Amino acid sequence: MKISFSLAACAALVSFTATPLLAQQSAPALVSGIDLSAMDATVRIQDDFYGFTNGNWMKKTVIPEDKSSWGVFYELRDNALTQVRSLIEAATKNPGKPDSEARKIADMYASFMDEKTRNALGFKPLQADLARVAAIKDKKDLPALFAYLNRTGVETPFALSVYQDAKRTDTYAVYVSQSGLGLPDRDYYLKDDDAKLKDARAKYLKHIERMLAMSGDKSAASHAADILDLETSLAQVQWTRVESRNAVKSYNPVEISKLNALAPGFDWPAYLNAAGLAGKSEFLIVRQPSYFTGMAEVVAGTPLEIWRSYFQWRVLESYAAYLSSAAVNERFAFTGTTLRGVPKNELPWQLAVRVTDNALGEAVGKLYVEQYFPPENKARMLALVNNLLVAFREGIETLDWMGADTKKEAQAKLATFKPYIGYPDKWRDYSALKTKRDDLVGNVRAARSFAYQRAIEKLGKPVDRDEWSMTPQTVNASYSPLRNSITFPAAILQPPFFNVKADDAVNYGAIGAVIGHEISHGFDDQGSQYDGSGTLRDWWTKEDRANFSARAANLVRQYGAYSPVANYKVNGELTLGENIGDNSGLAISFKAYQKSLQGAPAPVIDNFTGEQRFYLGFGQVWRGKQRDDAAIVQIKTDPHTPAQFRASGTVLNQPGFYSAFGIKQGDQMYLAPEQRVIMW
């Protein structure tokens, strides 16, 4: 059952007294939960927190051949993948009645594992889609093609999605946003002064050529060059990722009748009709208006035959992972090895589990919860969430940079936070999804079409604020600004994030900091622009917003100086929201941990005080190794700072860290008090 706080329940929360998570006084022995074998005692923690906490692990650990990175998150995800495999294979052996969820799970999994059939079919499963592209005889037919491909999950120059309207949060709206690139980011097309990105671009050109040739294209080389030129034209008019994450600038409702003025020459009525959206909405929310104007110019200025080549490529790229072994290997050679430095693809069963999980996530999740998520985990997690909310409430009141009016609004927002723990209260209905045991591409297309249709059918209906965006078997957590909710799936609620056998300190440093991180997203540079109802609204005084922005600028500078790979620095603006989440989340969790002690001293375990174990627990969940190519992709595309700096960069700003380890001026981990940033 989902946990939801009503206003009345939250009013009771504000007087809640933080308590220990476990009845430790009755436990025969407390364990620290710290992995002592991972530490390097030859390193002074005052000079290198990350090296001391994870040094031996870093020396001994080799990234698996089939991974771009490795660390706690990846270990847990691999473990969850193995657990899900056992559930799927059990369903495969006993699929039950035709059209049952178990049968659909079995069909999806078996259709991928049947490599013999996939190899025999080759590119035949794509013939209908490729023929549809080839049949386009006039540019006026392009909008309908865009719509068909959007409906089947094939990338086009713009993406369509259905979410709550950010300014009318009781209704759903249609959002459109820039898309259409095969490389990870516009920089890969436009940065001629970066040798690594230029090399990736050259190899991408050859990859397109090889895939086109494999599909039977006799002019693959020239068509590949045309496709790269077209994608470069799209990249030139795209917004940067920093610009696109601006919540206010990317909210632009445009009436249907005015779309032609935004993107002249593109037949929006034809697109909307083919997309199944005619009459369903009076406007679209356009995330990057200038891009759509530029895209229309690209459409008008690009010959039709190049658009045919481009969309043939988009179809091939979209389904290559589900075709013959040769196509799968060619795709991985570029997306895995070239872009991320991964030498070897995952095993077929791993890929099959991912395909099945993507298509039928909540059906699989239902099985996962029954097998792997005991009810007591949910109760303990709820207690921890409550403690963090209390600490955040009290922290707001002690802020010296925020005035009373803004504090009142912040408290009102906090009072409406909803935590979702473990699994959804209501499971998704997959009865409309049809599968076949011998048609992998057909199954993937059906799953994508099912998800699309399910999304557009939300239009005109009440908003379901209890819908989950992640499955229970997902090792992750999230915050939704539109619902003002935090979600913690079952799979993350296990060691080292949450250890029911350990003293509270490590749990607060690990999963507590994650909870604090997600709560803090409601108050980061973008989340703070939404109120408690999820409405995009400015509830700040000008003075308080200026104070907030000054502190945020300091974080941008701090993280912008970190360089995970030579000549590549973290983008402090792109990662700002996540860095606020890390810094504020850890600070709040430390306060909650101190409150949970109720004035009693924390025990010393493994020669570490409670405060020390708190920070060590935080540092160890962020241990990780990453291939250089993968790190570059992350720097260019990911709003999260690489793991090492999430750990060491965050503790630099925590006053409790300095007192816990006696860090003084002259130590390498020392940052002058006036330079430390705690926003919440």
Instruction: Report yes or no: 657 and 651 within 8 Å, Cβ to Cβ.
Output: yes
Main-chain dihedrals φ then ψ at residue 160, nearest 5 degrees: -120, 140
Residue type, 306: I
What pLDDT score does 383 carry? Answer: 87
Separation between Cα atoms, residue 90 and residue 538, nearest integer Å: 52
Reduce the secondary structure of 425-485 to three states and give it as a string: CCCCCCCCCCCCCCCHHHHHHHHHHHHHHHHHCCCCCCCCCCCCCCCCCCCCCEEECCCCE
Residue whose token pair is 């409405």? 535
Give the pLDDT mean for 537-557: 97
Check: CB of residue 162 under 8 Å from CB of residue 456: yes
Whether 7 shows a pLDDT value over 50: the answer reads: no
User: Which residue is associated with the tokens 């919860």?
Assistant: 369
State mean pLDDT over 455-474: 96
Distances 290 to 200, 236, 250, 255 between C-alpha atoms, Å = 27, 11, 11, 16
**CA 37 remoteness from chain centre:** 31
- pLDDT tens-digit readout, 329-366: 999 999 999 999 999 999 999 999 999 999 999 999 99
User: What are 605's two structure tokens?
Assistant: 């375990």
Pairing of strands 253-255, 69-71: unpaired
User: Is the model's pLDDT at 407 over the cut of 70?
Assistant: yes
The answer, yes or no, to whether residue 25 has pLDDT greater than 80, is no
What is the rounded CA–CA span in Å between residue 153 and residue 445?
Answer: 7
Q: What is the pLDDT of residue 374?
A: 84
233-249 mean pLDDT: 98
* AA identity, residue 303: P
**pLDDT per position as a tens digit, 82-112:** 999 999 999 999 888 989 999 999 999 999 9
Report the amino acid identity of residue 432: A
- Rounded Cα gap, residues 623 and 55, in angstroms: 9
Handedness of CA 217, 218, 220, 225 (dihedral sign): negative
From the list 527, 547, 514, the residue with the least C-alpha distance to 399 is 547
Short-list 358, 467, 496, 420, CA closest to 75: 496
| DSSP per residue, 274-307 | HTT-TTT-SEEEES-HHHHHHHHHHHHHS-HHHH
Mean pLDDT confidence for 402-423: 97
433 has pLDDT over 70:
yes
What is the pLDDT at residue 10?
Answer: 29
| H or E stretch covering 178 | strand 168-178
- Structure confidence at residue 413 (pLDDT): 98
- Alpha-carbon gap, residue 219 to 181, rounded angstroms: 21
Distance set, CA 119 to CA 122, 198, 271, 645 (Å): 5, 33, 35, 44
Residue 624 CA to residue 645 CA, distance in Å, equals: 11
CA dist., res. 253 & res. 246, Å (int) = 15
What is the CATH code for 7-13+30-67+380-426+466-675?
Answer: 3.40.390.10
* In the predicted structure, residue 19 carries a pLDDT above the cut 80: no
Q: Residue 415's Cα: distance from chain center in Å?
A: 25
Q: How many angstroms separate the CA atoms of 55 and 642, rounded?
A: 17
Grade residue 2 by pLDDT with cuts at 50, 70 and 90.
very low
- Topology (CATH) of 120-345: Neutral endopeptidase; domain 2 (1.10.1380)
Of 24-28, 52-56, 139-143, the range with the lowest mean pLDDT is 24-28
pLDDT at 380: 81
Supply the pLDDT for residue 652: 98
> Cβ(507)–Cβ(499) under 8 Å?
yes
Specify the pLDDT at position 508.
Answer: 96
What residue ranges do the domains of the chain occupy?
A: 7-13+30-67+380-426+466-675, 120-345
101-113 and 348-359 helices cross at what angle (nearest 10)? 140
pLDDT class of 29 with cuts at 50, 70, 90: confident
User: What's the pLDDT score for residue 157?
Assistant: 98
Task: Give per-residue pLDDT as tens, 144-195.
Answer: 999 999 999 999 999 999 999 999 999 999 999 999 999 999 999 999 999 9
pLDDT score recorded for residue 678 = 86
Read off the pLDDT band of 381 (50, 70, 90): confident
Question: How much is the pLDDT for 119?
Answer: 98
Rounded Cα gap, residues 394 and 309, in angstroms: 59
Residue 23: what pLDDT? 39
Q: How far is CA 20 from CA 5, 272, 394, 586, in A?
A: 21, 55, 18, 18
Give the model confidence (pLDDT) of 162-171 as tens digits.
999 999 999 9
Q: What distance in Å separates the CA atoms of residue 648 and residue 49, rounded to the nearest whole number?
A: 6
SS3 of residue 488 by DSSP: strand
Over residues 231-251, the mean pLDDT reads: 98
Averaged pLDDT for residues 606-617: 98
pLDDT at 316: 98
- The rounded distance, in Å, linking the Cα atoms of 124 and 661 is 64
Residues 404 and 535 sit within 8 Å (Cβ to Cβ): no
- Answer yes or no: are the C-beta atoms of 132 and 379 closer than 8 Å: no
What spatial distance separates the first Cα and last Cα of the chain, rounded to whole Å?
Answer: 31
Name the pairing type of β-strands 283-286 and 624-626: unpaired
- CA pair distance 411, 403, nearest whole angstrom: 12
Task: Give the Cα separation of 319 and 323 in Å (integer).
Answer: 7
pLDDT score recorded for residue 632: 98
- For residue 563, give the amino acid letter: S
Region for 607 from its dihedrals, namely left if φ exceeds 0, alpha if ψ lies in -120 to 50, beta otherwise: left
Token pair belonging to 644: 């090492």
- How many of the other CB atoms lie within 10 Å of CB of 62? 7
Measured CA to CA, the distance from residue 456 to residue 595 in angstroms comes to 46
